[in-house]
Amino acid sequence: MNEKVNPPKRFDVIVAGAGAGGVCAALAAARTGARTLLLEKAVEIGGTGVHSPVSLICKFHGRDHRPINLGIHRELFPHAYLHSTWDFRASAPRLTYDEKDLAAAYRRLLAAEPNLTVRTGCGAASVRREGRLLHSVQCDDGSDFAAAAFVDATANGNLSALADCRASVGRDSDSALQSATLVFAMSGIDKSRLRVAEFSTRGGLHSLWRELTSLYKEAKARGETQNPKGSVVCFPYPDGERLLFNANEVVGVNPMEAGAEEAAIKKGRIFVDDLVAIVRRHPAFAYATVEFIATKMGIREGRRILGDYTLTQDDCLGEARFEDMVAACAYEIDIHDPDGGATRMVDIPGSGYYHIPYRSLVAADADNLFLGSRCISGTHEAHSSYRVISGVSAIGQAAGTAAALAARCAAGQARAIKPAWIRHVLREQVQFVEGTVEPPPGWQGPEMS
């Protein structure tokens, strides 16, 4: 047998996918004392937040202005913690990031973990199972790795699909997925030609959106673009000079279908060219240049893996409080219409946040598979909320911590781990948790078992 001649290299925890969720999961697992392998199929780590940059740091405060994500997210975006994401005054800053800074923060934090190995250009291509336990992952470069516990942080639930786990896709009525977007950035904007010569504040940015949207709507009425998006949305970089445009909707993109992303990029580029031509009619943009057009399509939604609990819109809007909470999210329900119509946004009422239960992070069809990115078990509507970087970083941190505890205390078995143990470790690592905490058996910190 192949295994006897060349057995897979063994780790405690394998995390597949190195976007926000996977990086946080891998850091958390390594910091909980697990020998961890982070696998990324792309040549560089970073995932959507770096390679299809999104700019905006979405809400992570309760309505009382307390941060409900204090963990690795704060290490990634320290500047955002100087402000509240519930500050809606016109003079309040829009909290944004530069993808180069985020990529550098990922590299710095990952390099600092002695328990962590990172392999890029190494996509999980198949999974070997023994009953309900995943045993090992075979990668597309021929390498083979085994572990006690696995974290699926591939965004679209690719690892779980390879392990034959059940999943849902899209909205209930017809499985249609949220629209996708090809983002691009512009620089060289003459701010003195804008009605409000500053777009780093909420008030200034909304004024800019109004100016550009009016030009765009006129052009759309003349048939100059087929882009279904109804308005121009862009966000400032932290330098207050450049803008990241999130301003096209490509519908009908199913990232699980071969070739779908490439076809979507082609369509997206046409919309980008249309929009650049339109905004250049504004005097402030007459000499602006396109800094880059993303090489990766911005995909909002993929598989949602069936877990022990499926988080719903009612849970989000009902400010759910779960006994097995391991993460929290404050971001709105935010559905980019699969048909390309208006975006539906609904605030989380009351306290402004809801709990994410451990059961939604445990794949129903396996015993040692944790969900650590936007592929957790939830409905189309709930997913539209926790999918943002603040949500997935908290999910990833919780999943990585749980996987490490499972590997160390329970031979990888997710259901043998108490949520209070996970919360204990998360709290020690200064993450926001609510509910009782209990040290895992024999716990004396990451270095002890």
Ligand X SMILES: Cc1cc2nc3c(=O)[nH]c(=O)nc-3n(C[C@H](O)[C@H](O)[C@H](O)COP(=O)(O)OP(=O)(O)OC[C@H]3O[C@@H](n4cnc5c(N)ncnc54)[C@H](O)[C@@H]3O)c2cc1C
**Interacting residues toward ligand X by CB under 6 A:** 16-22, 39-42, 47-49, 52, 54-56, 58, 123-124, 153-155, 158, 181, 183, 246, 298-300, 373-374, 387-390, 392
Shortest reach from residue 389's CB to ligand X, in Å: 3
Q: Which is nearer to ligand X, 368 or 418 (CB)?
A: 368
Residue nearest to ligand X (CB): 19
Q: Which is nearer to ligand X, 287 or 292 (CB)?
A: 292
Q: Which is nearer to ligand X, 391 or 412 (CB)?
A: 391
Q: Which is nearer to ligand X, 362 or 409 (CB)?
A: 362
Shortest reach from residue 87's CB to ligand X, in Å: 17
Shortest reach from residue 222's CB to ligand X, in Å: 26
Shortest reach from residue 231's CB to ligand X, in Å: 15
Q: Which is nearer to ligand X, 201 or 390 (CB)?
A: 390
Structure tokens at 78: 């320290």
Q: Which is nearer to ligand X, 51 or 424 (CB)?
A: 51
Shortest reach from residue 445's CB to ligand X, in Å: 27
Q: Which is nearer to ligand X, 151 or 433 (CB)?
A: 151
Q: Which is nearer to ligand X, 34 or 76 (CB)?
A: 76
Q: Which is nearer to ligand X, 124 or 420 (CB)?
A: 124
Shortest reach from residue 167's CB to ligand X, in Å: 14
For the chain, the three-class secondary structure string (H helix, E strand, C coil) is CHHHHCCCEEEEEEEECCCHHHHHHHHHHHHCCCCEEEEECCCCCCHHHHHCCCCECCCCECCCCCECCCCHHHHHCHHHHHCCCCCCCCCCECCECCHHHHHHHHHHHHHCCCCEEEEECCCEEEEEEECCEEEEEEECCCCEEEEEEEEECCCCCHHHHHCCCCEEECCCCCCCCCCEECCEEEECCCHHHCCCCCCCEHHHHHHHHHHHHHHHHHHHHCCCCCCCCCCCCEEECCCCCCEEECCCCECCCCCCCCCHHHHHHHHHHHHHHHHHHHHCCCHHHCCCEEEEECCCCECCCCEEECECCCECHHHHHCCCCCCCEEEEECCCEEECCCCCCCCEEECCCCCCCEEEEHHHHEECCCCCEEECCCCCCECHHHHHHHCCHHHHHHHHHHHHHHHHHHHHHCCCCHHHCCHHHHHHHHHHCCCCCCCCCCCCCCCCCCCCC
Shortest reach from residue 301's CB to ligand X, in Å: 9
Shortest reach from residue 323's CB to ligand X, in Å: 25
Shortest reach from residue 311's CB to ligand X, in Å: 15
44-66 as b/e: b if 16+ CB within 10 A: ebbbbbbbbbbbbbbbbbbbeeb
Q: Which is nearer to ligand X, 159 or 320 (CB)?
A: 159
Shortest reach from residue 173's CB to ligand X, in Å: 22
Q: Which is nearer to ligand X, 242 or 374 (CB)?
A: 374
CB atoms closer than 10 angstroms to residue 67: 20
CB atoms closer than 10 angstroms to residue 287: 10
Shortest reach from residue 418's CB to ligand X, in Å: 26
81-119 as b/e: b if 16+ CB within 10 A: beebbbeeeeebbbbbbbbeebbebbeebbeebebbbbb
